[in-house]
Structure 1
Amino acid sequence: MQLLKPLRRLSDAVNQVAIVACVACVLIMLGISFTAFLYKLATGSTLSWTYSLARLFLPWIGFLSMTISLRYGEHVAMTLLVRSLPRALITVAAGLCLGVIALFALMLVWYGWGYFQGATQVYMVSDQIQIPAKFTAIVIPISGVIILLHLVQGFDLLEHFIDDDSLIEGLIDANDLEERS
């Protein structure tokens, strides 16, 4: 249990880095697109490389946002079905869910690393801009490692153990305290 506390802090720190990286990728994509827009307004012609360069950031956004949503329990879950089970089976179902997530993460690392190593092509964005495919391929095993790291959060990743009534009452109480202030 002593080991879990620093690993959970590391998981939270890595999640913050992933959020910053996703925001940076979106801003870079917007910057590239805005540059293309301004260039088209100013000259009437288009820059051929802007679309190709901007889309290279999509895998980063997709895979990193997957790890972020997992950390906050916003992934696909069959919560209604699981909550209809007896309490003991909820724990079993949650354990199985975490096991499937771990298997998926291991597959991302294993097959993603092979994909990364085999990515020898170069994206020809333009004559001057050439991006190795490894730039986009590396995000696959990285996201698998992040998911594995997030698993130290345990059942906190799942919604199965949230009591809706107590959550709603807590929100109402917090709202009442704000109104009294």
Structure 2
Amino acid sequence: MPLLQPLRRLSDTVNQVAIVICVACVLIMLGISFTAFLYKLATGSTLSWTYSLARLFLPWIGFLSMTISLRYGEHVAMTLLVRSLPRALLKLAAALCLVVIGLFGALLLWYGWDYFVGASQVYMVSDRIQIPGKFTAIVVPVSGAILLLHLVQGFALLEHFIDDESAIDELIETVDTAAVDTEERA
């Protein structure tokens, strides 16, 4: 499948961009909060706009970090249940999990786009700082598209389901082989 490799590289690149954006959002939030703290120390009064402005970055952090965690296989999983399944059912459960993730990504994209298009409110951070609602609404369909893009990674997204089992099997085989080698030497 020659198309999968470029899509997987694109998925990795998009994931790196999402990481940079999340880090930037956290740093901006910290910068805003630190500015408010310093202003309070220096003047004794508070800046009214800092809390409102800082919280506008939370949807970006939440939605993009969801896509990042999916890419690294750190999403919520029922690992104990899955590990107790036979190998064939394990693959079926993993495939079903990918289908559900794909459905969730498609719903985020579909309904998120409608949400973005219909976002007409303006966040009044202060008298002079007004931010369109589209700034936070766009992250919903973007994160849905990223989730769908990450599906090209296939079972690698569910790495902890499959690789742990094979790693355990390899360890057992290594121990068994070492025990046989030790018995043969004796």
Counterpart CA distance in 2 for 1:153 and 1:127 is 46
Q: Distance in 1 between matches of 2:164 and 2:41?
A: 54
Match of 1:138 in 2: 138
1:157 and 2:157 matched: yes
Mapping for residues 84-95 of structure 1, pairs under 5 Å:
84-95=84-95
* In 2: Cα distance, 1:165 partner to 1:87 partner: 10
Per the alignment, residue 123 of structure 1 pairs with 123
2:18–2:64 contact (8 Å) kept in structure 1: yes
Residue aligned with 2:95, SS: helix
Structure 1: gaps spanning 5 or more residues: 170-181
1:123 is paired with a residue whose SS is strand
Q: 1:108-165 CA distances to partner (integer Å, 9 max, x unpaired)? A: 0011111111110000000110000000000000000000000000000012101357
| Distance in 2 of aligned mates of 1:37 and 1:154 | 46
- 1:70 counterpart residue number: 70
Q: Secondary structure at the match of 1:2?
A: coil
Structure 2 distance, partners of 1:109, 1:129, is 29
Q: Is the 8 Å Cα contact of residues 82 and 161 (structure 2) preserved in structure 1?
A: yes
CA gap 1:165/1:114 in 2 versus in 1, 3 angstroms: closer
Q: Which runs of 5+ in 2 are unaligned?
A: 172-186
Kindly state the Cα deviation for residue 166 of structure 1 after the two structures are TM-superposed: 2.8
Determine the structure 1 residue equivalent to 2:99: 99
Give the residue type in structure 2 aligned to 1:36. Answer: A
The letter for the 1-side match of 2:130 is: Q
After TM superposition, the runs of 4+ consecutive aligned structure 1 residues lying more than 6 A away are none
Choose 150-159 or 85-94, whichever is displaced more. 85-94
Aligned residue identity for 2:135: F
Amino acid aligned to 2:164: D
Instruction: Determine the C-alpha separation between the residues in 2 that align with 1:96 and 1:137.
Output: 29
For 1:37 and 1:131, how far apart are their aligned partners in 2?
23
TM superposition shift of 1:49: 0.2
Q: How far does residue 89 in structure 1 lie from its aligned partner after superposition? A: 1.1
Secondary structure of 1:161's counterpart equals helix
Deviation per residue, 1:55-74 (Å, 9 max, x gap): 00000000000000000000
1:160 is aligned with what amino acid? F
Which structure's CA Rg is the greater one?
2
2: CA distance between counterparts of 1:21 and 1:163?
A: 31
Q: Supply the AA of the counterpart residue of 1:163.
A: D
- 3-state SS of 2:146 partner: helix
Aligned residues: 169
Q: Which residue of 2 aligns with 1:174?
A: none
Alpha-carbon displacement from aligned partner over 1:5-62 (angstroms, at most 9, x marks no partner): 1100000000000000000000000000000011111111100000000000000000
Distance in 1 of aligned mates of 2:73 and 2:34: 34
